[in-house]
C-alpha cells in the first residue's frame, strides 16, 4: 500500500490491482478520479457527486487497456472539481504536492495524477484533458504528458465535462516510459511518418517573456537542428476569431449539458472559481453555441491545412511556471486567461499534443509542446525521441 506523502490520492488500494500481463508488467500506475471502474463510484472531484451516484458497472476502456497490459493499479487520484479548472486545487479534497516546485500548485485538472508521478509514488498515471488538464500539470511538474487527438483513444468511461474536447491522457517521468505506454494504446513511435518542418507562430511566441524564451531555447535548438529554422507565420484566423472565447463558450455549453440537470437538483457546494464558471455556462444560449460551433469548424479546417504535409507546431505548454500555492483567486484567474489561448489551439482542433519537460524558470519546470495534425501522435512521439538524442 502506497504511503501518500504527496497527498495525491483520494483512494489508495490496500494491494495494487493486477489484472493482466504484458508490456507494462512490473509497473505501478494511478488513475484520475473521473475514470469509471467497475464496482466503484468515480468521485469526479466532488464529494456531492460521489455521494449520490451509483457504482459504475463497466471499467473505462482506456483504464482497462493499461490493466490488460500488466500494470498494477495503485489507486485513484485527486482532481479539480468536475475537471473544470487547470490550477490543481480543490476546496473539498485539497491541493496535491508539486514535488518539482513545492511552493507552487501542481496544475489541473489531473492534479493528483501528475503529483503522484512527480513524487515517485507510481511509475505513471492516467489523466484526462479537456482544456489542458494533462498538458498543464505535466509542464508544472516537469513530466512528459500526452493529450492524444480527439477520438484517437476510446474516451468512453470518462465522466464527461465537455465531450467534444474530453480525451484520456497519461503522464510519465521519462521519455522511454512515455513511448512504452503510448505503444500499448497503439501509438507506436516506430511507425511514425517523419515531419518535414517546424512552425513557431509569432501569434504565441511574441507573448512570451524573455525568461520563457531563454528557458525553452535549448529545446527549440534541438528541434531546429533536425528540421531547420522554424517558420514563424501567424496562426490562421487568430485575429478574425477569438479562439479563447470560442473555446470557453463551446466548453461551457457542453459542461452545462453534461452537469446542469444534476446541479439543478442537488445544488452542491462549489469551490472558488468552479461555481462561477458553471453559472456562466448555464447562461450560454443556443444561438451563442451555434455561432461558436461555426467558428470552431472554421478553425479546425484552417489548422488541418496549416499542419498538413508533416508540420510540427512548437508551443510553450504554458505561459510560465506554476502559480504559487498562496496566489490569490484573481491572480489565478489571470494566469488561466493567459494559458487558455495556448491550450485551446489543440483543443479546438482535436489535435495531439505532447508536453516535453527539461526547462525551468525561477527554479520551477516549464514544458515545450509538440503539436501535430490529427492522427500525428506517432510523429510527435518519435520527434521527441529524436530531439532527446540531438
- Distance, in Å, from the CA atom of 330 to the CA atom of 25, rounded to the nearest integer, reads 45
Q: State phi, psi for 286 to the nearest 5 degrees.
A: -60, -40
Residue 186 has pLDDT above 90, yes or no: yes
Residue 75 has pLDDT above 90, yes or no: yes
CA distances from 168 to 11, 152, 159, 306 (A): 20, 10, 11, 25
CATH of domain 191-389: 3.90.1300.10
3-state secondary structure of 180: helix
Mean pLDDT score, 25-46: 98
Contact 355, 138 (CB under 8 A): yes
Mean pLDDT score, 187-214: 96
Tell me, yes or no, if 32 is annotated catalytic: yes
Tell me, yes or no, if 109 is annotated catalytic: yes
Contact 379, 192 (CB under 8 A): yes
pLDDT band at 44 (very low <50, low <70, confident <90, very high): very high
Kindly report, residue by residue over 234-252, the tens digit of the pLDDT. Answer: 999 998 999 999 999 999 9
Kindly report, residue by residue over 205-221, the tens digit of the pLDDT. Answer: 999 999 999 999 999 99
Quote the percentage of the chain above a pLDDT of 90. 99
CA distances from 151 to 125, 127, 171 (A): 20, 16, 19
Contact 139, 367 (CB under 8 A): yes
Contact 39, 2 (CB under 8 A): no
**Which of 109, 110, 111, 258 is flagged as catalytic?**
109
Contact 88, 106 (CB under 8 A): yes
**Which of 46, 62, 128, 133 is flagged as catalytic?**
133
Helix (H) or strand (E) holding 316: strand 311-316
Contacts of 375 (CB under 8 A, 6+ apart): 149, 152, 352
Q: Is 56 exposed, middle or buried (0-12, 13-18, 19+ CB in 10 A)?
A: middle
CATH of domain 9-187: 3.90.1300.10
Residue 324 has pLDDT above 90, yes or no: yes
pLDDT for the residue numbered 84: 97
Contact 377, 183 (CB under 8 A): no
pLDDT for the residue numbered 25: 98
pLDDT for the residue numbered 1: 85
Contact 56, 73 (CB under 8 A): no
Contact 108, 127 (CB under 8 A): no
Any bridge partners for residue 32, and if so which? 77
The conformation of residue 109, written as its DSSP 8-state character, comes to S
Tell me, yes or no, if 330 is annotated catalytic: no
pLDDT band at 141 (very low <50, low <70, confident <90, very high): very high
Residues in the chain: 390
The conformation of residue 103, written as its DSSP 8-state character, comes to T
pLDDT for the residue numbered 378: 98
Angle at 245 between CA 344 and CA 242, to 5 degrees: 85
- Which residue in the block uniquely carries the three cell numbers 495534425? 373
Model's pTM, two decimal places? 0.98
**Which of 32, 99, 139, 258 is flagged as catalytic?**
32
Kindly report, residue by residue over 339-385, the tens digit of the pLDDT. Answer: 999 999 999 999 999 999 999 999 999 999 999 999 999 999 999 99
Q: State phi, psi for 102 to the nearest 5 degrees.
A: -60, -20
Mean pLDDT of the chain: 97
Domain spans, the chain = 9-187, 191-389
Mean pLDDT score, 134-149: 98
Contact 338, 314 (CB under 8 A): no
- Distance, in Å, from the CA atom of 42 to the CA atom of 50, rounded to the nearest integer, reads 6
The conformation of residue 198, written as its DSSP 8-state character, comes to E
Amino acid at each position: 500500500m502506497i504511503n501518500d506523502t504527496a497527498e495525491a490520492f483520494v483512494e489508495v488500494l490496500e494491494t495494487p490491482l493486477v489484472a493482466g500481463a504484458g508490456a507494462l508488467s512490473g509497473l505501478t500506475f494511478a488513475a484520475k478520479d473521473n475514470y469509471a471502474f467497475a464496482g466503484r463510484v468515480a468521485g469526479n472531484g466532488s464529494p456531492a457527486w460521489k455521494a449520490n451516484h451509483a457504482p459504475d458497472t463497466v471499467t473505462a476502456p482506456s483504464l482497462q487497456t493499461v490493466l490488460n497490459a500488466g500494470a498494477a493499479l495503485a489507486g485513484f487520484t485527486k482532481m479539480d472539481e468536475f475537471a473544470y479548472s487547470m490550477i490543481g486545487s480543490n476546496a473539498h479534497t485539497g491541493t496535491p504536492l508539486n514535488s518539482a516546485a513545492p511552493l507552487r500548485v501542481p496544475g489541473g485538472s489531473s492534479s493528483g495524477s501528475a503529483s503522484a508521478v512527480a513524487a515517485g509514488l507510481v511509475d505513471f498515471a492516467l489523466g484526462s484533458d479537456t482544456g489542458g488538464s494533462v498538458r498543464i500539470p505535466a509542464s508544472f511538474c516537469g513530466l512528459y504528458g500526452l493529450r492524444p487527438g480527439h477520438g484517437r483513444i476510446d474516451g468512453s468511461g470518462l465522466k464527461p465535462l465537455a465531450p467534444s474536447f474530453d480525451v484520456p491522457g497519461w503522464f510519465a517521468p521519462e521519455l522511454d516510459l512515455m513511448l512504452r505506454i503510448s505503444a500499448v494504446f497503439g501509438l507506436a513511435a516506430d511507425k511514425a511518418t517523419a515531419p518535414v518542418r517546424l512552425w513557431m507562430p509569432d501569434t504565441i511566441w511574441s507573448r512570451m517573456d524573455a525568461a520563457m524564451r531563454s528557458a525553452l531555447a535549448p529545446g527549440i535548438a534541438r528541434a531546429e537542428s533536425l528540421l531547420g529554422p522554424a517558420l514563424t507565420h501567424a496562426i490562421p484566423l487568430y485575429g478574425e476569431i477569438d479562439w479563447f472565447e470560442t473555446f470557453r463558450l463551446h466548453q461551457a455549453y457542453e459542461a452545462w449539458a453534461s452537469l446542469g440537470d444534476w446541479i439543478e437538483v442537488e445544488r452542491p457546494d462549489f469551490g472558488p472559481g468552479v461555481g462561477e464558471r458553471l453559472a456562466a455556462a448555464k447562461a450560454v444560449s443556443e444561438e451563442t453555441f451555434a455561432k461558436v460551433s461555426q467558428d470552431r469548424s472554421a478553425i479546425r479546417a484552417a489548422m488541418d491545412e496549416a499542419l498538413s504535409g508533416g508540420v510540427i507546431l512548437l508551443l510553450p505548454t504554458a505561459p510560465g511556471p506554476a502559480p504559487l500555492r498562496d496566489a490569490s483567486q484573481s491572480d489565478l484567474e489571470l494566469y488561466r486567461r493567459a494559458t487558455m489561448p495556448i491550450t485551446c489551439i489543440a483543443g479546438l482542433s482535436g489535435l495531439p499534443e505532447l508536453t516535453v519537460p527539461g526547462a525551468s524558470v525561477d527554479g520551477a519546470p516549464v514544458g515545450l509542446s509538440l503539436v501535430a495534425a490529427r492522427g500525428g501522435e506517432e510523429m510527435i512521439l518519435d520527434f521527441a525521441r529524436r530531439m532527446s538524442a540531438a
